[in-house]
Structure 1
Amino acid sequence: MKPLAIFRHAPGEGPGYLADVLKRHGLSYTLIRVDEGDAMPPTASAYSALVFMGGPMSVNDPLPWIPQALRLIREAQGLGQPVLGHCLGGQLISKALGGVVGPNPVIEIGWGLVERVPGEASARWLAGLSERFEVFHWHGETFTIPEGGAPILTSPFCRHQGFVIGRTLALQCHIEMTTTMIDAWAGSPEGRKLVASPSVQTADVMREDAVAKVASLHAIADAIYARWLDDLCV
């Protein structure tokens, strides 16, 4: 099988726990460090699947690599290749497939509940998971769902937390977090300046019970990633 391509857009926003999952499944990947100037691949066909991680930029920023990423997503979708996006990655998928990305009503940062959107898509993609579960958030923008997509997750502060379209899964939330990533994000200059609100946690609150919360998150991620990998291995 060809390797997966994982696109990193910021030094602290790599594959995280997803790398552990891929290793357990015996799957190789190529890490494309967009933040370090790695060239975008000329075609999606060199890979078995595409994965786009998070990042502090907006998909609407005039960055030279964004049109290239959108092109790769559209190509992969046309080829029937699985695509996976986390936060910024989910927004890239939405924009590439005809959705719109813009400001969320509120900034959403820290641990928070998401809930399943009733329907066949969520029943299939979230099988075995609770109606509500806790994940990690760090975003000020959000996406609309492109034509042909089906919503699977929502939250009190962000209507669209996830959608699927064909073999593609776009998430607004983060399920790839590790304790190291939580600590690094909480300790970043932005994290240290956070002011508590109903939708924003301070750095100290994010770190509370982080080991237990990350362990629960990994169980959720295992289920979601396994479903996505089922399509990859078909």
Structure 2
Amino acid sequence: MSAMRVNILQHTPEEGPGAIRIWAHDRGHKVFVYHPAQHGKLPTVDETDLLVVLGGPISPNDSAPWIAAERELMRQMMAAHKPIFGACFGAQQIAKLMGAKVSPAPAKEVGWAPVRRLTTVIPGIPKSLTVLHWHQDRFDLPAGAIRLFESDQIDNQGLLVNGNVIGLQFHLEVMEDNVYTMVVNDGDYVRGSVLNQTAQDVADFPIPAENFLVMARLLDFISRRV
């Protein structure tokens, strides 16, 4: 794999790239982090080898101009057959771009809980992973997408499109410091979650070592043709 320019779209200070940045640096890639919600700037498709769209306290259904502009960039990336990884809001952006509905989930899902693998199309993924959930919306599965994961609360926890676009409703990218940052800045969000965990419970949970390996495996999978 040749060195890539990895462009990351970060929407809120407390939800950073975590393991994605480590993966990129381990493979000699260059990382550029954009903050479209704050500065209104996005990369072009020509200067992007891999696009990462992170989470945030917004919805693809919101009317901020940068949200639609972000989806247009994603549309251009898919038309150019370039890889995209979306986490939480990023996964919802992928689904909405493809014409699927994004709407409130039956229950708010915030905290650590398992997801189950539904396909072996990506090799080397365990049957179950314990991951961080931080959302109260969900997406329908777009036509032509492969459903990757499910949880007890949400049927569509991950999708794969065209072999090089992955969206995960959960946060596989978080490292220990990312979780601490989320909790100290947005810990009140855990209230009302069906998972019944406190902010301290979330902060104290030991992140499974396999999560980093799976995050790397997914990114390797979608970028293998670059």
TM-score > 0.5 by shorter chain: yes
Which residue does the alignment assign to 1:61? 62
Which residue does the alignment assign to 1:175? 172
CA distance in 1, matches of 2:101, 2:73: 18
- The verdict on how the C-alpha distance between 1:200 and 1:59 changes in structure 2, with shifts beyond 3 A counting, is farther
CA distance in 2, matches of 1:200, 1:178: 22
> Are 1:37 and 2:42 an aligned pair?
no
Which residue does the alignment assign to 2:25? 23
Pick from 185, 198, 202 the counterpart of residue 198 of structure 2: 202
Whether the aligned pair in 1 keeps the contact of 2:107 and 2:194 (CA below 8 Å) is: no
Whether the aligned pair in 2 keeps the contact of 1:10 and 1:34 (CA below 8 Å) is: no
Whether the aligned pair in 2 keeps the contact of 1:179 and 1:214 (CA below 8 Å) is: no
CA distance in 2, matches of 1:149, 1:30: 28
> Are 1:101 and 2:102 an aligned pair?
yes
> Are 1:46 and 2:47 an aligned pair?
yes
Whether the aligned pair in 2 keeps the contact of 1:101 and 1:143 (CA below 8 Å) is: yes
CA distance in 1, matches of 2:42, 2:193: 38
Q: Which amino acid aligns with 2:178?
A: M
- 3-state SS, counterpart of residue 80 of structure 1: coil
Deviation of 1:199 (Å): 2.4
CA offsets, 1:32-88, max 9 Å, x none? 1123314123x3122112110000111111111011111111111111111110000
Whether the aligned pair in 1 keeps the contact of 2:9 and 2:33 (CA below 8 Å) is: yes
CA distance in 1, matches of 2:100, 2:205: 36
Pick from 11, 14, 17 the counterpart of residue 16 of structure 2: 14
How many pairs does the alignment contain? 223
Deviation of 1:99 (Å): 1.2
Deviation of 1:140 (Å): 0.6
Which residue does the alignment assign to 1:186? 183
CA distance in 2, matches of 1:22, 1:225: 9
Deviation of 1:222 (Å): 2.5
Which residue does the alignment assign to 1:136? 132
State TM-score, norm by structure 1: 0.89
- 3-state SS, counterpart of residue 221 of structure 2: helix
Q: Which consecutive unaligned segments of at least 5 residues does structure 1 have?
A: none
CA distance in 2, matches of 1:51, 1:193: 24
> Are 1:222 and 2:224 an aligned pair?
no
User: For the aligned residues, what is the CA RMSD?
Assistant: 1.7
Whether the aligned pair in 2 keeps the contact of 1:5 and 1:49 (CA below 8 Å) is: yes
- 3-state SS, counterpart of residue 199 of structure 1: coil
Deviation of 1:218 (Å): 1.5
> Are 1:163 and 2:163 an aligned pair?
no
Deviation of 1:193 (Å): 6.0
Percent same amino acid among aligned pairs? 27
CA distance in 2, matches of 1:44, 1:99: 23
Whether the aligned pair in 1 keeps the contact of 2:105 and 2:137 (CA below 8 Å) is: yes
* Misfit runs of 4+, over 3 Å: 192-198
- 3-state SS, counterpart of residue 33 of structure 2: strand
- 3-state SS, counterpart of residue 75 of structure 1: helix
CA distance in 2, matches of 1:196, 1:64: 30
Query: How do 1:68-83 and structure 2 match up within 5 A?
Result: 68-83=69-84
- The verdict on how the C-alpha distance between 1:193 and 1:101 changes in structure 2, with shifts beyond 3 A counting, is closer
Whether the aligned pair in 2 keeps the contact of 1:99 and 1:143 (CA below 8 Å) is: yes
CA offsets, 1:116-140, max 9 Å, x none? 11xxxx3122x22221111111001
Q: Which amino acid aligns with 2:221?
A: R
CA distance in 1, matches of 2:195, 2:61: 24
